[in-house]
Amino acid sequence: MDKKGVIWEELADFLLGGAILIAAIIFFIIMTGFTTEKESDYFEEEIIDVKDKELFISFLREEYTDDETFGDLLSEAVENSEKKTFIENFDMFLEEVYETKVCWKLYVGEEEWISKNICRTDIELLDSQIYVPTLNSYYKIRMNILGYAQ
Amino acid sequence: MNKKSKIYFTVLFMLLFVSVFIPYALNISFSKKGKFDKYIGESQLHLIKTYETGEVILFYIDQGARAALKQAISNLGLTQTDFNRQKINKTKKRLLPEFQNNFLKITDNFPETKIPIIIDEYEFNLKRKGNSVELLGKYSDILKLEIRTDNKIVFTEAEIIKGERLGYYLLNPSFRETVAIT
């Protein structure tokens, strides 16, 4: 084989080897890498849900006085239907957390129980629910921070 | 294979790849979960969700212990004097059974499934703190919460429900509750 023939032979080998390698990589990426919009939305929603719940529970575990947490204050407020103290203190606490006033709603079961402040933005900051027990049953409490307040 | 046929083969291979393999891979990728059977991150998501459920349960237990203690104090009509150093042991003997009854009732009422608390696994310590009383419940065992793909809340002691189980998440339902007394 002459010199030119060797170069062509090398080039042909290189092209074939490279093509197979690139094809294999592309095939693998396509096989494993794609997620539909529905799937990625599902993951995003689930992660937001988990983060919101974690945040809500940590709010309720925050100390209100030496012996009481906001969770204790909330369950007392719900049980005694006396929401004034809870609203004032929790609103102040949320203002400290978000460094500005926020508009928020609290639902007991399906019923809207508290609605505090008027929103100026509609970027939802938190939406989560937990269970607060009573002796014979439990309350389903949903907290929704709808955005920053006016 | 000579150089000419190698070049023809390469061109043919690329054509085949574009017209057959890529559509096949796209079809698999969009229609099924692909080679790994689960979406990337799906198992982690179930683990995080179980952790979230665990936090909800622990919060419920904390609040439940507090409600049970308040109710027990109220039912027995206990006041600050009952928690004096001289009387506290006697008070503890009266208070704990009442508290335990209330607490078990509350843990049985948890939505979806009852929390399989074994009350004898608790070691209780009652003490007075100023105008309040503190109850420490130290649980010597653990609760095993299943990490499940169907997101059902299942403790291992509970009835086995069909569905894939990825592992266990361990919870310790110990608590420390302080309640004001009059």
Q: pLDDT of B59-114, one tens digit each?
A: 999 999 999 999 999 999 999 899 988 888 999 999 999 999 999 999 999 998 88
- Count CB-CB contacts under 10 A for residue A135: 19
Give residue-wise pLDDT tens across range A68-99: 899 999 998 988 888 999 999 999 999 999 99
CB of A136 within 8 A of CB of B105? yes
**What is the ipTM score, two decimals?**
0.76
Structural domain includes residue A71: yes
* Mean pLDDT (whole number) for A45-63: 92
- Nearest by CB: B109 against A9, A31, A138: A138
Q: Which of A61, A134, A46, A33 is nearest to B44 (CA)?
A: A46
Residues B50 and B19 in one domain: no
Is B14 in contact with A34 (Cβ distance < 8 A)?
no
Is A30 in contact with B48 (Cβ distance < 8 A)?
no
Residue positions counted in chain B:
182
Most confident of the ranges A52-56, B2-6, B126-130 = A52-56
Decide if pLDDT at B39 tops 80: no
pLDDT at B140: 92
Give residue-wise pLDDT tens across range A108-142: 999 999 999 999 988 899 999 999 998 889 999 99
Q: Please indicate whether residue B6 or residue B138 has the higher confidence score (pLDDT).
A: B138
Domain with B5, as residue range(s), is: 1-32
What letter does residue B4 receive in the DSSP assignment? H
- Nearest by CB: B7 against A5, A15, A30: A15
Q: Would you call B26 an interface residue with chain A, using a CB distance cutoff of 8 Å?
A: yes
Residues B173 and B135 in one domain: yes
Alpha carbons within 13 A on the beta-carbon side of B136: 8
Nearest-Cα distance to chain A for B28, in Å, is: 7
Structural domain includes residue B39: no
Residues B96 and B169 in one domain: yes
Helix (H, G, I), strand (E, B) or coil at B182: coil
Structural domain includes residue A96: yes
> Over A65-128, what HEC string results?
CCCCEHHHHHHHHHHHCCCHHHHHHHHHHHHHHHCCCEEEEEEECCEEEEEECCECCCCCCEEE
Q: How many domains is chain A partitioned into structurally?
A: 1
Residues 6+ apart with CB under 8 A from B148: B46, B50, B154, B163, B164, B165, B166
Which amino acid is it at A60?
L
Decide if pLDDT at A11 tops 90: no
Decide if pLDDT at A33 tops 70: no
- Nearest by CB: B56 against A5, A16, A130: A130
d(CA A86, CA B179): 18
pLDDT at A145: 95
CB of B60 within 8 A of CB of B110? yes
Decide if pLDDT at A4 tops 80: no
Structural domain includes residue B134: yes
Q: Would you call B8 an interface residue with chain A, using a CB distance cutoff of 8 Å?
A: no
Residues B61 and B138 in one domain: yes
Domain with A110, as residue range(s), is: 52-148
Q: Would you call B70 an interface residue with chain A, using a CB distance cutoff of 8 Å?
A: no
pLDDT at B36: 57
Residues B52 and B124 in one domain: yes
pLDDT at B95: 94
